[in-house]
Amino acid sequence: MSKIQIDWDKIATPEPVLARFASRRSVVYSTKGIVAASQPLAVEAGLEILRKGGNAADAAVATSAALNVTEPSCCGIGGDAFCLFYDAKTKTVKALNGSGHSPQKLTLEYARERGLTGRSIPLTDLNSVTVPGAAAAWVDTVERFGSGKVSVAEVLEPAIRLAEEGVPVSELHSVSWQRSENLIKFASPNGDEMLLNGKAPLQGQIIKLPNLAQTFREVATHGKDGFYKGRVAQAIVDLIQSKGGVMELEDLAKHETSFVEPIKYTYANEVTLYECPPNGQGLTALIALGILENLQEQGTIKPLLEMEHNSAEYLHVLIEALRFVFDSSWYVADPDAEHVPVEKLLSKEYLASRAKLIDPLKTNPEVVHGNPTNSSDTVYFTVSDQWGNACSYIQSNYAGRSTPIPKGCGFTLQNRGSGFVLAENHPNALKVGLFSLGLSRRKRPYHTIIPAMATRGDELFLSYGVMGGFMQPQGHIQVLQGMLRGYTPQAALDSPRFCISAGSPDTQTKDSGNAGDINSEVYIEEGIPLETVEKLREMGHDARQAIGFQRSMMGRGQVIQKLTDPSGRFVWAAGSDLRADGHASPQI
């Protein structure tokens, strides 16, 4: 029998599409656990840990590490992570901030001496690399929230096996990898560690990542010290210092995960939305939800659930509410370094005042908001277990594919430090050395990645998220509103979305640092009628259609919902975004 020959040139897609045909996915149900992620092999890694007796937190870390292998141009151990964990025993939501600080020697003065005069540190300048927090977040998630039945080494084993044996590359991620190929080559003399014979792998081709497997083994054997001390830490510092960066071994050794109190907003006396507190942008979603509630209470608009879903009337209100909250980028900063007035921003008075600025019939041209640019170098996933726990997890390398690979380590470094603003009076400014003598100058930058959870009373309702830069709070609001309409998790994710994009650089204001054009483009996803887009334009929106692969700006989400059947048993219901390669899969 002759072997079938595959023509990889025909499989490669020069002009990729996000979904060639309209597809139907059913809701996935389970009475035990579910893993929902953007890559099937990573889903199986999580399920493997659930079957070994691990809980949702243990399985989330297994999924996270596996995604580093299967989607390495989007995430990895060289980046940061955040998570929310619903503890079924105590019926409480807990939060973990796994983001890293800037190096101690990186000050605003140093940046200016280096000739950095723009708004931020360039993505390709290795002073934009902050301490990677993911490795510590993985270990701490297992040790703080895990079942105690599986070790960190056991949790990392599926990802190590995938990296050593090789993984066939998924269809959509192969496109991202191909788009990253030149960036990887340009950024790193070690770029071949993440390429296949010097090229980005095509869909279906198998790639092995042995150096990444060895990095994972260091953590499996030595815990956090395996990453933040020793060989891996030295390789990170050697690389950064070789390019003029100031990170030192001490910066890595001092890193710690923060266990923090989640912030929340209760909407319509029914559902409480939970987000991680600043330095992440989850606050933005909560403010938007508060504005929407106040608009309805003031009688400015009729109840959202009475509006036709994705009609011009409905989309206009959501777009305006989100336009009015991106000014929160001014306030989202490291709370250990700057005061963040969370309570004031979520107060009835503030939310009501913002709601009064919205006209239900047309856009308000007087708004200056934050600059919602988008990056998709992020993965979001969620896991539930047979005991009723759930874990909402997100990790990212920011635009890490444009940074180099530490020699022999198999991962790219994040450049989250580009979230700092090079302006002395901005809350997200680098520390000023002159006033920090003898004090820590380390600071966490503005972060876009945000997991979400929602409860009804103290019972879990949703564990969910939508990845993709500044799309994330927009996605949180749109998916939540779909669920409140009674949509299934899959239908809420399948529903076409909008994305407020960034204004042009010449319209950005000097004061706001992160501010953009008040008439920013609003991209309306294919599937919403052109007539609706035209009505939005008549209302003053710069509305444009997002078609084909451009739809990727709408983010990629996962949802797990907790239901109760008539017998009183809980049932998990899950959906996975058709804009990604993954799926939701149940444990049996």
Cα-based angle 155, 261, 413 (whole degrees, multiple of 5):
50
Residues taking part in catalysis: 378
Half-sphere exposure of 445 (CA within 13 A, CB side): 31
- Report the C-alpha dihedral over residues 103, 109, 113, 117, rounded to 10 degrees: 100
Secondary structure (3-state) at 209: coil
For residue 344, what are the CA distances in angstroms to 33, 328, 432, 553?
Answer: 38, 12, 27, 31
Cα 222 from Cα 230, distance rounded (Å)? 10
The 10 Å Cβ neighbour count of residue 342 is 18
Q: How far, in Å, are 141, 166, 421 from residue 444 at the CA level?
A: 20, 35, 12
197: left (phi over 0), alpha (psi -120 to 50) or beta: left
Which residue is associated with the tokens 């209302």?
539
What secondary structure letter does DSSP report for 426? S
Distances (CA, A) of 267 to 162, 297, 316, 509, 512: 42, 11, 20, 33, 29
Residue 215, judged by CB atoms within 10 A of its CB (0-12, 13-18, 19+), counts as buried
Cα dihedral 140, 142, 148, 150 in deg (nearest 10): -130
